A and B are shown apart, each in its own frame.
Chain A
Amino acid sequence: MRSLFSFLNRENKRSEIRHSDFAFVFFLRSIASLIIIVLIFLLLYLWNGSLPILKITGFKFFTDSNWDPTADQYGALPFIYGTLLTAVVALLIATPIAVSTALFLTEIASKKIAKPFGFLIEMLSTIPSVVYGLWGIFVLAPFVKIYIQPLFNNYLGFIPFFKGPPFGIGIFSASLILAVMILPTITAVCREVFLSIPTTLREGVYALGSTRWEMIKTAVLEAGFSGILAAIALGFGRAMGETMAVTMLIGNRADIAFSLFAPGATMASVIANESPEATSMLHVSSLSAIGLTLFIVSLAVSGISRLITQLTKRRLSK
């Protein structure tokens, strides 16, 4: 306590310093607390907002597939299904490409090529979602409709999942645009993981007489496997939260259609689509509950991803 009150002694320069430092830390902390308060408010509002609908339906909210705002009927299953399906399909498309790109950047390309190429990949992530959506509506969706969908129909049409109405707009187009959008994220994380693998490991495998691919397989892919998993988890989180491009391309129908080409909706797209027009209290509440779910799930996913990254880095640096 002496240090707290010693500023009364004006002769004591050191305690003055200590006092002003104390005030500065107090100032910074009170400012920074605002940020923490925002986060707490965010959680409280989402939780409070979702209470009315959750009180009525209980857990059934998440398993009921009937979403009909005009009849005040709310079940979130179609959106959970749409979110998971688009994110998984997007990952299936993006992961091999992103891992290859990261391999190219770290193992194959010379520095002269890797730098501008990495820059181009990063540029992919700076294009706004709404611009991807615009491009998707006028370029990608017609392309899917004319070229890709008939391909699936002709060769895999006997599986109902690959058969669907020829709109161009639907789950597949949304997943495709999502794949483009999460590609830079996965590439960046994989690249970081591959770079953290010690060169001695690579040299060791080469010294055993392996080809470059054998080196990549054993020293890079196997050593960095958990890191790749972390990258995939991060991409999954991004894909779930993406809103605009998906909203513009998925067709926005609250339906569970077991077809890759049918229109659907995701948790994020239904919030963007229906919030501006939601009037009934229960409707707003249901959207809040969906937002809360999205929040919790994406937090969990990014937490898992961060955990894996840290464990991997610790293991590799040993």
Chain B
Amino acid sequence: MSSLNSALHSTLRKRRFKNNLMTFVIYLFSLIAIIPLFLVFFHIIKNGSSSLNLDFFTQLPAPVGEPDGGMANSIVGSLILISLASIIAVPLGILAGLYLSEYTEDYFASALRWTVDLLMSIPSIVVGLFVYTSIVVPLKSFSALAGSIALSILMLPIVAKTTEEVLKLTPTHIREAGLALGLSRWRVILFVVLRGKSSAVLTGVVLALGRVAGETAPLLVTAFGNRNWPQSIFQPTPSLPVQIYNYAISPYENWHRQAWAGALTLVTLIFVINILTRLIFSKDGLDKNQS
């Protein structure tokens, strides 16, 4: 009897030990998962803040060998590219999202949903390559136009998806109430459903902006970049991410510091966007639905 007892005890001890061991492993791996985040932040802030000054935001890049200089042209270029991209992608994306959420039943909606899902899973460099072969090569020049079209193709599915998700949260009885008043369906959709969720839709748009603000690969093969102010939308246009890339792979110490400063600016921008949208989203009650 006692031998059975001790055998039971030893297996129990083994099981407890294994339990503790695996729990420890899970804790350890979870810790490892967030270490890169802190390391990346630490280095960006350490190296970026020491090279960030007012000149960075107001000056053109300095020629090789001269100290200082800034990325003002890239910041302006990025703003131009992103605004042009949103002009194309935001209306299209919102209307597509509207269709997806309000006309779920027909075959066109499923074709559209399929397309949006496909566009979401395309690697961004492939989109860049497509714009390169369809616009850059025929026009024989890298251009802001090509860059913003590439960005808009990347933004479109994000805007459409978030709009769809947000609008679907509108309770059916609100639509029915509108219809019961004798309104036509399109009035209900535009003035009841869309207007009711307009701030959430807008948040989705801003989220998409944050997503494409750091895109580099598609811009590298479409807008390319230059070391001067952006001239016209048919000419190569500098952008913050591409400039960071060019400086990072250059052999010059001064340029490396500029790259860190650029990274700090970019990451700060994206984080502010993300945290702001998150706050608004949770206020709108979207959080409850998702988590």
Using CB atoms and an 8 Å cutoff, list the residues of chain A in contact with chain B.
13, 16-18, 20-21, 23-25, 28-29, 31-32, 34-36, 38-39, 41-42, 45-46, 49, 96-98, 100-101, 103-105, 108, 117, 119-121, 123-124, 126-135, 137-139, 180, 183, 187, 211-214, 216, 237, 240-244, 247-248, 268, 271-272, 275-276, 284, 287-288, 291, 294-295, 298-299, 302, 306
Contact = CB atoms under 8 A, between A and B. Distances in A.
Contact of B186 (A24, A123, A129): A24
A212 B26 CA distance: 12
B56 interface: no
Contacts of A23: 186
A104 B266 CA distance: 31
Contact of B214 (A18, A129, A139): A129
Contacts of B127: 42
A35 B115 CA distance: 7
Contact-residue size bin, chain B (C-beta under 8 Å from the other chain)? 35 or more
A276 B224 contact: yes
A128 B249 contact: no
Interface string B257-274: 001100100110011001
Contact of B125 (A49, A216, A243): A243
B209 to A, nearest CB: 12
B137 interface: yes
Contacts of A41: 130, 134
A20 B184 contact: yes
B257 to A, nearest CB: 11
Contacts of B9: none
Contacts of A237: 121
Interface stretch (B38-46, B79-87, B167-175, B226-234): B38-46
A17 B216 CA distance: 47
Given A32-B96, A211-B15, A275-B221, A284 B137 contact: yes
Contacts of B10: none
A96 B25 CA distance: 10
A298 B213 CA distance: 23
Contacts of A131: 40, 44, 214, 244, 263, 266-267
14 contacts: A21-B184, A31-B96, A39-B118, A45-B133, A105-B30, A128-B215, A130-B266, A131-B267, A214-B19, A248-B248, A275-B129, A287-B129, A291-B129, A294-B125
A244 B244 CA distance: 11
A141 to B, nearest CB: 11
Given A31-B95, A128-B266, A275-B221, A100 B112 contact: no
B44 A28 contact: no
B267 A32 contact: no
Given A21-B184, A137-B248, A298-B123, A36 B111 contact: yes
